[in-house]
Structures are given as C-alpha cells and as structure tokens.
Amino acid sequence: MNEAMAIEPFDLLTLPVPAQRSVAADAPARLKQMAAKGVLPGVRPEVILAVLALLTHDADAAIQAESASTLAALPAPLMTGALSATLHPWVIDCVCLAYRHDRDVLVRLLGQRDIAAETVEMLARTGGEWVSELVAINEDRLLKNPVIIAALYMNKATRMSTADRVVELAARNGVTVSGIPAWREVVIALKDELISEATAEALPEDELFYEQSAIAEELASASGEEVFEESEPGQEAVKERFKPLLARLQEMSVSQRVRRAMLGSKEERMLLVREQNKVVASAAARSPLMQEGDIAMVARNRNISDEVLRIIATSPIWLKSYQVKKCLVENSKTPVAISAALITQLREADLRKLATDKNVASAVQMAAKRHLQRRDH
C-alpha cells in the first residue's frame, strides 16, 4: 500500500465468508498458503485480487512473499475479470504498486471510479514518461487534486511539454499548486510561450530537456568542484569544462530553464541562480535540491541579484543556518534592511569585524557598531 498517504482501509467484512476465513489472523496455515497462491475456489476475480492484496501485508513474511509473487503474475483472464469490477481504493493502490510497469493494467486502474488521489499522486511522482502521460490525461482529476500536478512537474521523467501543459491548465483555472516550490516563477515563465497539445511521441522540446539531463549527469562533479573561477578580482567566469552545459541551457526557453533550475544538477543550479532573468534565478534559489553549502555560497556572492538574496533571507529553513545569515550580512548586495535585521543575530566576534569592514555598506557598519555598543552596556 502507498504508506505515505492515508487511503481508506479495507474492511474485511465486505469479503465473502470463505475469503474472510483465508485472510483471518488465525486462519489455518494451509488455507492461508493456498490463498496466497490465488487458489480460492468459487470466488470472483475481484475478491481474489483483494485477498492477495491483503495477504501482501500479512504478519507472516513467507505469506507476504508468496502472495506478492502471485499478485504480480496473475493470469490475464483473471486480471481482466477483476478490473471489470469496481475495486476498493486500498486494493487499487496495492495493485498499482505491483503493476506500475504494466501499461495495460495501469490504464484500467486509472480508469477505476474509486481510485484514490493519493494513488495517482504516487504514480505521477514515481512513474516513467509513459506513466506521466497516462496520469496527465484526466484534467478534471488534476484540477481537483493539485498535488498530482506538482508530482508530475517535479518528476524528471515527465515530458517538458506535459509539465508545461498541466501548469497552464492549473493557472488558467485559477488553481495554485503549492507543491511546486517556485510556482509563481513557473507560471510567469509560461506567459509568452506556446503550449503544445498532447502527442503520442515526445516533442523536440522534450528531447532537449532529456538530453540536457544526460549532459548534466555526465558533467556532475562528485568532488564538489566549483562551476566558476575568478577571472580577475571581483569577477568570475565559467570553468571551461562546464561551458557546454551553459551553452545548452542558453538554447532553452524560459520555462525549460526554470524547470532545470529546480530539478537539474547542482552545476545547473549554480549557473542558473546567476541568470540575469530574475524568474529563472529565483526558481533556482527556491529549488528543493539546494543544500546549505550551496545557499551559503550564493548568499556571499556579489554577482547575485538582490531578488535571490531576498528569497534566501526570507526562507525559514535557510535562516536557521548561522553561516547563511553571516554571508548575507557580509554581502554588500544584500538589501540594507535585511542585513540590519540579521545583525542582531550575529556573534560578537563577527560584529567587530563588520564594524571595520570597508567592503560592506556603511549603514551595515554603523548598525554593527550600534549593536556592539548596546551589548557593551
């Protein structure tokens, strides 16, 4: 079962009496073993499916394994008969997990009237390209359950064109998708772009996105190598080995770069957070893949836009980091109001350095001196 979500439990009393006996905690071992093999004479296909789903959660590990094996290899006629009936949401969830690589079965399961939104969200979050395409078909379900739209968008396997299409659908219908961290930027990026209709085959924009993923993975640095190097005092340039990555990013549309900024590699995020396009840079700053060390590096960089610095400075998560707060205050690009508010949270030794640091704004220097004077008194 999809443990992360709360799906209505299955009521054993809804099963025929013979099936109830097969799954009862005190059922004879032989009876339960036969049920785990799918041997339930005179029982309808959908009941066999429910029994097997229940036994995959049995207390006996051997019964769990046997029933899971049986469930994953049910004869086609039995599965067809079971899927023709109305299944319980809990059973659907279990069967989706077992058959998430079987297109024909998933098509039938997604068409089940009582399938839980949580189950569809799981498929959207973990499925491959073709699974995402199936999930994206039901627009009414997407609008009623924005969490599914978020799962599709944040799944790297989802086509770029499909991600754009479901975002545009939500925006057009006034639905806010809070599960996408940079929702505002994602919507803005689509305003001037043509939204493609669903197609059987991936579009060129989809192939570009996938190719970029492959390049990014190839260039990903396990050692944590920096993307930029100092070209001259106060100036930075992209290292030679990362220039192909930057070149491909520059070929992309704004919406493509926004999605790469959130889902791409560390190297891509560090390139895109410096973008002159504030929508793209802001999306990179909001990426759920950003780590504390990356954010600290961005916060101290004087080539970063003040908008990105504001995003970092208003994030409850990043403001838990002393290093991030210190970097923000020391950065002359950080808006003075933000720096002044953070000064009160710095250690005395750092305040004394700030009070004499000519590289910070004079207002920040004065604020540091005033706070030191208050502490001294």
- 29, 106: one domain: yes
Residue 74 lies in a domain: yes
- 374, 353: one domain: yes
- 279, 343: one domain: no
- 14, 120: one domain: no
pLDDT value of residue 325: 96
User: Rounded to an integer, what distance in angstroms lies between the CA atom of residue 171 and that of residue 107?
Assistant: 27
Residue 194 lies in a domain: no
Which of the listed residues 238, 262, 290 is the one where a domain comes to its end? 290
Kindly state the greatest CA–CA separation across the chain.
88
pLDDT value of residue 373: 84
- 161, 258: one domain: no
Which of the listed residues 146, 180, 214 is the one where a domain comes to its end? 180
Which of the listed residues 290, 325, 342 is the one where a domain comes to its end? 290
- 33, 89: one domain: yes
Residue 197 lies in a domain: no
- 282, 360: one domain: no
- With a CB cutoff of 8 Å and minimum separation 6, the contacts of 36 are 52, 55, 58, 63, 66, 67, 70
pLDDT value of residue 232: 75
pLDDT value of residue 327: 95
User: Rounded to an integer, what distance in angstroms lies between the CA atom of residue 328 and that of residue 339?
Assistant: 7
Residue 298 lies in a domain: no
Residue 108 lies in a domain: yes
- With a CB cutoff of 8 Å and minimum separation 6, the contacts of 45 are 78, 79, 80, 81, 82, 85
- 108, 212: one domain: no
Residue 188 lies in a domain: no
- 233, 255: one domain: yes
User: Rounded to an integer, what distance in angstroms lies between the CA atom of residue 350 and that of residue 263?
Assistant: 35
Residue 192 lies in a domain: no
- 217, 275: one domain: yes
The segments of the chain whose pLDDT lies below 70 read 1-6, 222-223, 376-377
CB 329 within 8 A of CB 306: no
Q: Show the CA angle centred on residue 146, arms to residues 144 and 147, nearest 5°.
A: 125
Number of domains in the chain: 4
Residue 218 lies in a domain: yes
Chain centroid to CA 224: 23
User: Rounded to an integer, what distance in angstroms lies between the CA atom of residue 132 and that of residue 152?
Assistant: 6
Range(s) of the domain holding residue 51:
1-115
- 338, 360: one domain: yes
User: Rounded to an integer, what distance in angstroms lies between the CA atom of residue 146 and that of residue 124?
Assistant: 12
- 207, 281: one domain: yes
Which amino acid, one-letter code, is at 146?
A: P
